[in-house]
Amino acid sequence: MLKKILTLFLVLLLLVPAGCNFGKSEAVKPLDGQKEPELKKVTVLLDWTPNTNHTGVYVAKTLGYYRDQGLDVEILPPGSAGPAQLIAANQADFGFSYQEEVTIGRTAGLPIKAVAAVIQHNTSGFASPVDKGIKSPRDFEGKRYGGWGSPAEEAMLKALMSQEKADFKKVDLINIGSADFFTSIKKDIDFAWIFWGWTGIESELKGVPLNFLRLRDYNDALDFYSPVLIASETKIKSDPDTVAKFIKATTKGYQYSIQEPEKSAQILLDSVPELNRDLLMASQKYLAKEYQGDAPRWGEMDALRWKKYADWMFAQGLIEKPLDYEQAFTNEFLPKE
């Protein structure tokens, strides 16, 4: 009887399909003596030095989510030109950019498209030490603004000050480039445009109280997506399968970052050891609530928000013609589940 049972068990094992998996799915591994499956090389370009905006791609790379999709992803440092220009020129497959850059680029003829929103709502605004007394855009008068020389900065200042009936000409514009915010506010400037998820969190850790004027509180058109992931139209049309695989794995990376902020921060720190651990941990906990926000899924973008911001940019003279906003982004590669 025992012999019959064993024989039946062996027969059943032989009948089970080779690819059947009763547990958690894993990447296919080669049998002994066989070569590793060939992975497709893919590049993703950062927009700035590595920070918590980028955590999802580091997580996806470290935890093998890209490999599970058959991709070998290389994370590239920022280039000398803007991400939009480099992606349009096919210098990288994917890149971090901003709704502002995509809007300007597309109206200037760059064949780029946003494929996912990294953070659901705009967390940026104008920040200043409390002792500067800047509590509204009207208080910008007579103050020194430290920026990086973008036309959008001037337009933003003008728009907010005009709304408060303040005189933009009374602002002293100083280009500080990538200089440290906290060093600059001690001697060179009075206020600057920052992202709360990084510099704002750092101010809390440093014990430097700030007045923070969040842009979207002044105009809902300023609740733009920043940052976004972009690809060239050429890439999207010629290789949609790779785009879908990259976005699927990246989505998983950001979902992990939402669910496990401390572990994901540690992954970023292990990848970029020179970053400040305390800042990473605190920033990651903040952004864990902001990546998806109130959207039904991570990465999803809304056409009305693209339209509102493009209309605002056109009204401010930042773009020469209206944006065909429905062609500027796509949600088609986001996982359905």
Asked if pLDDT for residue 176 goes beyond 50, the answer is yes
pLDDT of residue 33: 54
**Does position 252 have pLDDT exceeding 50, yes or no?**
yes
Domain 40-121+225-327 has CATH 2.40.40.20: no
Banded model confidence at residue 145, pLDDT cuts 50, 70, 90: very high
Q: Is the peptide bond before 227 cis (omega within 30 degrees of 0)?
A: yes
pLDDT tens, 72-123?
999 999 988 889 999 999 999 999 999 999 999 999 999 999 999 999 999 9
- Find the mean pLDDT for residues 288-316: 97
**Residues 185-217: tens digit of each pLDDT:** 999 999 999 999 999 999 999 999 999 999 999
Q: What is the mean pLDDT of residues 122-146?
A: 97
Here the tokens at position 118 are 């990294």
CA neighbor of 291 nearest in space, from 217, 197, 220: 197
Q: If you average pLDDT over every residue of the chain, what do you get?
A: 90
Q: What is the mean pLDDT of residues 317-325?
A: 95
pLDDT at 149: 84
Domain boundaries, the chain: 40-121+225-327, 124-222
Query: What is the rounded distance in angstroms from the CA atom of residue 42 to the CA atom of residue 242?
Result: 9
Q: Please report which confidence band the pLDDT of residue 224 belongs to, taking 50, 70 and 90 as the band edges.
A: very high
40-121+225-327 and 124-222 share one fold: yes
Q: How far apart are CA 100 and CA 83, in angstroms?
A: 12
Q: CA of 255: how far to CAs of 59, 229, 252, in Å?
A: 10, 15, 5
pLDDT for 82:
87
318, pLDDT greater than 70: yes
Q: What is the pLDDT, as a whole number, of residue 37?
A: 75
Amino acid occupying residue 299: G
**201-206: which pairs have CB atoms within 8 A and are 24 or more residues apart?**
201/279, 201/282, 201/283, 201/286, 202/279, 202/283, 203/127, 204/282, 205/278, 205/279, 205/282, 206/182
Residues 154 and 149: their CA atoms lie apart, in Å, by 8
Give bridge partners of residue 173 from the DSSP assignment.
145
Q: How far apart are CA 131 and CA 191, in angstroms?
A: 11
Residue owning tokens 């926000």 = 293
Share of the chain above pLDDT 70, in %: 89
Q: Hunting for tokens 């007045």 — which residue is that?
A: 211
pLDDT at position 9, please? 33
Q: Residue 178's pLDDT band (boundaries 50, 70, 90)?
A: confident
Q: How far apart are the first and last CA of the chain?
A: 48
DSSP state of 106: H
**Of all residues in the chain, what percent carry a pLDDT higher than 90?**
84
User: What's residue 32's pLDDT?
Assistant: 53
Q: What is the structure's pLDDT at 3?
A: 36
Q: What is the pLDDT of residue 230?
A: 98
Rg of the chain over all Cα atoms, to the nearest angstrom = 24
Q: What is the pLDDT of residues 10-49, one digit of tens each?
A: 333 333 333 333 233 344 455 455 566 799 999 999 999 9
CA distance 252 to 255: 5
Q: Which CATH superfamily is domain 124-222 in?
A: Periplasmic binding protein-like II (3.40.190.10)
C-alpha pair distances (Å), 42 with each of 39, 220, 247, 317: 9, 36, 12, 37
Assess whether pLDDT exceeds 90 at residue 183: yes
Report the SS3 class of residue 96.
strand
Phi, psi for 296 (deg, rounded to 5): -65, -20
Q: How many angstroms separate the CA atoms of 176 and 190, rounded?
A: 12
CA angle 120, 252, 266 (to 5 degrees): 90
DSSP per position, 270-282? HHSTTS-HHHHHH
The string of pLDDT tens digits covering residues 271-282 is: 999 999 999 999
Asked whether the predicted pLDDT for residue 159 surpasses 80, the reply is yes
Q: Is residue 259 helix, strand or coil?
A: helix
Q: Is 203 exposed, middle or buried (0-12, 13-18, 19+ CB in 10 A)?
A: buried
pLDDT score of 250 more than 50? yes
**Higher local confidence (pLDDT), 35 or 175:** 175
- Would you say residue 67 has pLDDT above 90? yes
